[in-house]
Amino acid sequence: MAARKDVKMVDVSGKKVTSREATAKGRVTMRAETAARIRQGRSPKGDVLTAAKLAGIMAAKETHRLVPLCHPLSIENISLELTLEDTAVDITATVGGRGKTGFEMEALTAVAIAALTVYDMCKGIDASMRLQDIRLVRKSGGKSGTVVLE
């Protein structure tokens, strides 16, 4: 099979505008001492969870600039939750609005950038952190209706 060298944005002009929503999750694992420092507000760069939440929200709004073939979408809602556990930060992002294509990439981007921000803010105290299991867990709207992946 010959390698394809062309790329293109999918044509959504014939699709109907519907309410759509996508939820993604991910996790940053770390040493217990690192989580304790986040909890105590003793990270070298400041409030880790607030910065990561803001970064994830901002990133979702810029997904079409970061991922070359994504359509720019009119986001109507972004919910980003970061939960600090004993040795991890769990991240959940839900992005929604009305459009001709779904918000999966925006939700995944929000989680990925929030996770990267946690790493960036704590790498000076724990370079062994791991970004893990970033995945889509639910999407709704459009032709396929609601799909639950977890």
Distance, CA of 117 to CA of 142 (rounded, Å): 32
Identify the active-site residue in 6, 90, 120, 133.
120
Sign of the torsion angle spanned by Cα atoms 63, 22, 93, 95:
positive
Instruction: Compute CA distances 96 → 8, 84, 104, 148, whole Å.
Output: 24, 25, 9, 15
Tokens for 45, please give them. 């760069």
Residue 100 neighbours by CB under 8 Å, 6+ apart: 12, 13, 15, 16, 17, 71
6 belongs to the catalytic site: no
- Asked if 26 and 89 count as a contact pair (C-beta separation under 8 A), the reply is no
Active site residues: 120
